[in-house]
Every structure is written in structure tokens, then in C-alpha cells.
Amino acid sequence: MSKHVFKLPDIGEGVVEGEVVQWHVAAGDTVSEDDPIVDVMTDKATVTIPSPVSGVVTLLSGDVGEMVAVGSTLVEFDSDAAAAPASEPEPAAEPEPEAKPAPAAEPEPSPAPIPAPTAPEPAAVPAAPSGKVLASPAIRRRAREAGVDLAQVRGSGPAGRVRHADLDAFIAADGAVSGAAPSAYSTKRTDVTEVKVVGLRRKIAEQMAISKSSIPHFSYFEEADVTELEALRQMLNASRDESQPKLTYLPFIMLALSKIMPDHPECNAHYDDQTGVVSRHGAVHIGIATQTERGLYVPVVKHVEAMDSWQAAAELHRVAGAARDGTASLDDLTGSTFTITSLGRDGGLGATPIINHPEVAILGVHKARDMPVAKDGQIVVRRIMNLSSSFDHRVVDGADGAALVQHLRRMLEHPALIFM
């Protein structure tokens, strides 16, 4: 029997340890060479490590969330067990001679069949004291559209009120049940699920703790009338060719920021807490907070100041897509000087975004919506977008942060300025 000890290899320049994120095997499993055995996360990337041999796993070193040093034992294998020949099958038993069948007995007369009991009729649904079914207008409309008589639906709400769940249950069962069981809304839940914070989620937690504990944030909110920008966006999308990506608001916001940053250099910067030095960057590298199945990533669109709207949109699509499918490189995920977090899909009126340390500012973009506003003495409908921002008050004064947002608002409300 051959025992094979597999040690954590060198998985990156300067990497001395890795965190066990997920095991793909367990002790006793049979694996083949190159089968994935474990995901290990370093400061630079998450790496799936394959099995170096074929065999049976006998030992795993490190629970999920634990750090394993490079060169220490990771997995032990019995590399002979998988190749061991299967045991010889036992010879089949000799078949016994068939017994002669006994003569059939005379059949006895069968008793008269007993009629099956009929199912009891379902109890009638009690009506409300006034004879009117208690239900909201929305439920009554749904019932009319579905052709359901609400008098046949048992209400499980207070005083027999028909709830959406009651109507759903009635429709799903094609009228076989009269409504949802009252326990659907009245049962107490006492379960507790513990989830260990590991891998990327742990990294995010550490980064957020550093940002929130070391940076004195101040936040600033504003509205921007993007009616003209929306018209420009629609026109450009209607005239684009197949090779060009569809334009959202983000490329225009990125270009506007790159245009105005020379007037607000204190906001496009990094602050080194240890040395007390602020590094103001001429290049505008914008990080885009991107939610993925593996957690929050911030891919970076670099040198936005040198791009047009189509180039910015294409690069945004590339780095965000790479972050979502796990193919983003280290260069794609580092080097941002300013971050945008887009909350447009989920709406909301405001937020207090947390700064991406060591940056000193972050912008939150909310969903644009049609709103009534007073313009030239008239009430008109305009497209309004809310903007939320946070700044590091150690190096950005309140007036400077407000000036950046107001300058950005003017650019978005008069989009021709973005291209001048």
C-alpha cells in the first residue's frame, strides 16, 4: 500500500498561505488524477487545486475557513487502493429442482362485495356575518380575472378575511381546497442557521471593517434631472451598430467624472493612514461595485479620461462580466481611484455607501424615475436620478465633496458638457 502526502504548492508569487474555501472531496472518496479536490483563497485569487494522483483520500488537513501554509500537508492519499482488483464474485448457487405444484383447491364462493364508504361532503364555507366576503380590492380583482367565486374560498385571515395565499391555494388545487391553512401565517419559527464567514465574504467583511472603523465618513445627497441625458442615451442606442454595446447611464456618469476630476483632485485620491500621505491621481480609474454569485467584486475601468462613451461601455461590460463569471484577472480587480456603486436596479431614495479603502470617495447611483417637478412655474414630468455619496472627512472637506457632486449634477443635466 502506497501512501501519498500532498502539500499545498506555491500558488502565486509572494503567497505564503491560503484559506480553505471549499473541499470537493471527503475522507474515503476515490479520486482520479486532476480531479478538483479543494478551493484555496489567497490575497490575490481563489484557486482550485487538482489531485496529483489517483487513489483514495485518507486525510484532509484544514477545515473550511482555516489557513494552510504553503508547503504544509494538505491531503493524504492511498494511491494503491483505487487500483486494487475487485474481489472474485461468489459462484452462483446450483438451482434447486422445481417442486411439483399442489392441486388447486376448490374455490370458495366469494362474499358479497361491501360498498366503499363515500367521502363526506366538504363542510360549507361559513360566510361573513353580513353575507359579504372579506377581501381586499386587489384580491377581488384577481378572483374576477381568474373566474373564482370568493364565497367558495375559505379565508384564513382575521375574521375570515381571504388572503392572497388562500386564493393561490384555491386556484392551484382547481377548487379542491377552499384556502390556505391558517398555520401558513401563524406558525412560530424558532430555527437558527449558522453560516461560517469564509473566503471572499471574510475578505469583504475585513475590508468593510477597515473602511468603517478607520475612515470618518460624511455623506451627501442630491437629485439630478437626467431627462436630456435619457433622450441622448435613447438616440445613441437607436443608432448604434451591432458591434457597439448598449449604453446605460453608467458610461455617461463615468465620463462626466473623468471630465471634472481635474477640478476636484482631492476626491480622486488614495490616503495612506500609516504615512499620512494623500496621493492625488491624474488618471481616473473607476471601480464598479458588482454583485456576483460569489460575493461583491469591484472590477476597474482604467483610464476613463481617455475613452469615449462606447469604449467606456465596452470596457465596463468586459470587466463586470469577467467578475461575474470568475475570469477577472488581478489587474481587472485592483488600482481603482474612485468607486461607483449602482443601486439603480433595486431603486431606493438614498444610501450611505462605504468608501473602498484606501480611496477617499464613493458615489451611489439610484434608479431614474419620472417625477413631477416645478419648472418655469409649471408642474411637469421629468426624469430624476438620486445620487448618494460618501467622502473621507480627514482629507476631503464637506464643501469639496458637495462641489464635486454639484459639478457632476450639472454635467448630467446638460450632457453636451460631457463631450466638450
Neighbours of 200 (CB within 10 A): 17
With both helix axes pointing from N to C terminus, report the angle between 398-413 and 249-260 in degrees, rounded to the nearest 10.
Answer: 130
pLDDT at 83 over 70: no
| Helix H or strand E encompassing 387 | strand 378-392
Q: Does domain 216-419 have CATH number 3.20.20.70?
A: no
What is the fold of 3-82? OB fold (Dihydrolipoamide Acetyltransferase, E2P) (2.40.50)
**Distance from C-alpha of 56 to C-alpha of 31, rounded to nearest angstrom:** 6
- The catalytic residue among 270, 397, 400, 407 is 397
* CA 330 from centroid of its chain's CA atoms: 21
pTM of the model: 0.65
The boundaries of every CATH 2.40.50.100 domain in the chain are: 3-82
Largest alpha-carbon pair distance within the chain?
109
Under DSSP, the state recorded for 39 is E
Residue type (1 letter), 300: V
The boundaries of every CATH 3.30.559.10 domain in the chain are: 216-419
pLDDT at 401 over 60: yes
Q: Is 393 a catalytic residue?
A: yes
- The catalytic residue among 78, 393, 400, 414 is 393
pLDDT at 120 over 80: no
Q: Is 30 exposed, middle or buried (0-12, 13-18, 19+ CB in 10 A)?
A: middle
Q: Is 397 a catalytic residue?
A: yes
Top pLDDT among 257 and 109 is at: 257
- pLDDT tens-digit profile of 278-333? 999 999 999 999 988 878 899 999 999 999 999 999 999 999 999 998 888 888 98
Top pLDDT among 115 and 333 is at: 333
Closest CA to 393 of 228, 217, 225, 273: 217
Of all residues in the chain, the percent with pLDDT exceeding 70 is 83
> In the predicted model, what is the mean pLDDT of residues 233-238?
96
| 196 neighbors 290 (Cβ within 8 angstroms) | no
Cα-trace Rg, the chain:
33
**Predicted pLDDT of residue 363:** 98
